[in-house]
Structure 1
Amino acid sequence: MSHTNNNSSDIKKAAEQADSQQIERNLENGKPVDAPESLTEEEQTSFINDDLRTDR
């Protein structure tokens, strides 16, 4: 059974309950996004063996 009708009302309720001032404060004082982790040489290797590639 589909619950698509309930989804739109849930979204509407959440939007009505959202505190716009709190959202604005969160955006202004937000934490900086973490930099991605450095990968090891093994993690940086491609999944496809370069010798087998045919797209070059």
Structure 2
Amino acid sequence: MSNTNNDTSDIKKAANQADDQQIEKNLNEDKKVDAPEELSKEEQTSFINDELRTDK
């Protein structure tokens, strides 16, 4: 079982050890997020057969 007092002290230790300049550098970097992979026609089809749908 974890003790919430220990959790708080761990968080405080981490905050005290954080490098302000590195954090600022990381926030200011122009991060390239990978675009989602293009799906084929088969992969884009719904899981439900359109002919069986009753909600149309």
TM-score range, shorter chain: 0.5 to 0.7
The structure with more radius of gyration = 2
Q: Structure 1 regions of 5+ residues with no counterpart?
A: none
TM-score, length-scaled by structure 2: 0.61
Runs of 4+ in 1 over 4 A off after TM superposition: none
Q: CA RMSD in A?
A: 2.2
Q: TM-score, normalised by structure 1?
A: 0.61
Which consecutive unaligned segments of at least 5 residues does structure 2 have?
A: none
- How many residues are treated as equivalent by the alignment? 55
Superposition deviation, residue 22 in structure 1: 0.5
Instruction: State the percentage of identical aligned residues.
Output: 67
